[in-house]
Amino acid sequence: MKARWLVNLVLLLVLAALGLGIRHILSVADNPQTLIATAAADVRLIEVERAGEPRIRLEQTPDGWRMREPMDLDADQGQVERLLSGLRTPVQRSFPAQSAALGELGLAPAKLQVRLDDLILGFGGLDPLGQRRYVAADGLVHLIDDGVYARLIAPPIDYCSRQLLPRATPPVYATLNGVPLAGASLKTLAGLTAERLEPMTGDLSGEPLQVRFGDGTTLRLLVSADRRRWTRLDQRLRYVLGDGLLLELDPTAIDPGPPPGLPAPSADSTAPNTQAPDPVAPAVTAAPAPDAPLETPPVVRLSPDQEQSDQPDAEAEAGAGFGAEPYKAPPAGFGIDPFAPDPAPDPAGTAPGVGPATKGKAEITPSLRRY
């Protein structure tokens, strides 16, 4: 009796072991090998490099996924999660890379390369029979379904977030055409999501909108008249809304200022001041230093009879000029009597054999200059 119970116990243990083994086999069959085994939440870095195209670099931050190249802005969370989900596609078949002609498979070099942290995946051509994609990773070549390849060749703009403002810091102050926005409109901007994104074209028409955030940074945008197109100048992107947004202005709103420890931002803190000088503005001359000596103004000569000297004539100043026009000199010969006899020659100044001395030129006395 005791032996029979022992046999039954052994058989029960064998049946349990067989059941566990069958369950494991079924679970393995239900979960085939995938291209990547890392969970999406554990991936920190994604890089997509394509021949002739800019590299796309995505990084996971505490605030979510963010694009670092070719632009620096928030990334679309859903697009990144769909990309990682596509890379977890099942592997249909694998074989060693050493036994394959990598050049014929489009893997030497690879047409497209994806880096997930330390894992590098090289994407090649298609299998002509099953239309499956060749992927090289860790010394093996895998055959997978081609569904994820379309996401890998998408342009960088597809990975940009459609949210207008950065999600890391809330806006604290905004102006439209220099007039502050009301608090309700500022909250609406914080959660504004566009219907689609477009590259910025050459049309730069619109009203200027400046938004300042709690960390002191400023974002500049141009808003169309119908409030449907919002152009972000720093990334050259245009956010297109389904319907126009009503913005309420509040001229009495007060700028709260930058947070403590940060300098006050300028009117345009996102770009250097490249404004050209006004060609019609008058030239500004620097004022002389207070202790600099003043220059003596030049003497203006009003008649050619004045002496060519910069110093004023003391005799002219004492004579007070000619009649009612003191700045004019009297004509030549004025005040001389034509009938007056010639003056007697000077005996001391006359030498023998020399004629009388030449009559000197009469000079005008100051008393005569007044008449």
From first to last of the 371 residues of the chain, give the pLDDT tens digit.
Answer: 677 777 777 777 877 777 777 765 655 445 678 898 888 889 999 999 998 899 999 999 998 999 999 999 999 999 999 999 999 999 999 999 988 889 999 998 898 999 999 999 999 999 888 889 999 998 899 999 988 999 999 999 999 999 999 888 889 999 999 999 999 999 999 889 999 999 988 778 899 999 999 888 899 999 999 999 999 988 889 999 998 889 899 999 888 876 655 555 444 444 333 333 433 334 444 444 444 444 554 544 444 444 444 444 444 444 445 555 555 566 666 556 666 666 655 555 444 444 444 444 444 444 444 43
Do the domain assignments include residue 293? no
Same domain, residue pair 85 and 191 = no
Question: How many domains does the structure of the chain reveal?
Answer: 2
Residue 189: domain span? 162-270
| 80 domain-assigned | yes
Same domain, 176 and 83: no
Q: Is residue 238 part of a domain?
A: yes
Q: How far apart are CA 299 and CA 316, in angstroms?
A: 14
Could you tell me the CA-to-CA distances from 15 to 4, 22, 28, 156, 248 in Å, in that order? 17, 11, 20, 57, 75
Same-domain check for residues 127 and 166: no
| 10 φ/ψ angles, rounded to the nearest 5 degrees | -65, -45
CA–CA separation, 346 vs 356, rounded Å? 9
* DSSP 8-state code for residue 189: H
Q: How many CA atoms, within 13 angstroms, populate the side-chain half-sphere of residue 256?
A: 14
For residues 295 and 253, the answer to whether their CB atoms sit within 8 Å is no
* In a shared domain, residues 169 and 193: yes
Query: Are the C-beta atoms of residues 180 and 173 closer than 8 Å to each other?
Result: yes
Residues 46, 152: one domain? yes
- Can you read off the two tokens belonging to residue 89? 């596609």
Residue 88 in tokens: 């977890």
Q: Looking at the structure, do residues 48 and 135 belong to the same domain, yes or no?
A: yes
Q: Domain boundary residue among 108, 138, 159?
A: 159
Question: Is 330 among the domain residues?
Answer: no
Say if residue 121 is in the same domain as residue 170.
no
**pLDDT confidence of residue 312:** 47
96 and 180 assigned to the same domain: no
Q: Give me the count of residues in the chain.
A: 371
pLDDT for the residue numbered 248:
92
- Could you tell me if residue 353 is inside a domain? no
Residues 153 and 189 occupy one common structural domain = no
Together in a domain, 223 and 146? no
Residue 35 included in any domain = no
Boundary-marking domain end, from 139, 159, 179: 159
Q: Is the residue at 370 inside a domain?
A: no
Same domain, 49 and 144: yes
Which of 270, 292, 312 is the last residue in one of the domains? 270
Cβ proximity of 298 and 349 under 8 Å: no
Strand partners, 56: 48
Q: Which residue has the tokens 């010969």?
A: 333
pLDDT at 323: 53
> Are 148 and 174 contained in the same domain?
no
Task: Give Dmax (Cα) for the chain.
Answer: 189
Angle at 190 between CA 187 and CA 194, to 5 degrees: 125
Question: What are the DSSP E strand ranges found in the chain?
Answer: 45-50, 56-61, 64-69, 73-74, 91-96, 112-116, 119-126, 133-137, 140-144, 171-176, 179-180, 196-199, 207-213, 218-223, 229-232, 237-240
User: Residue 93 domain-assigned?
Assistant: yes
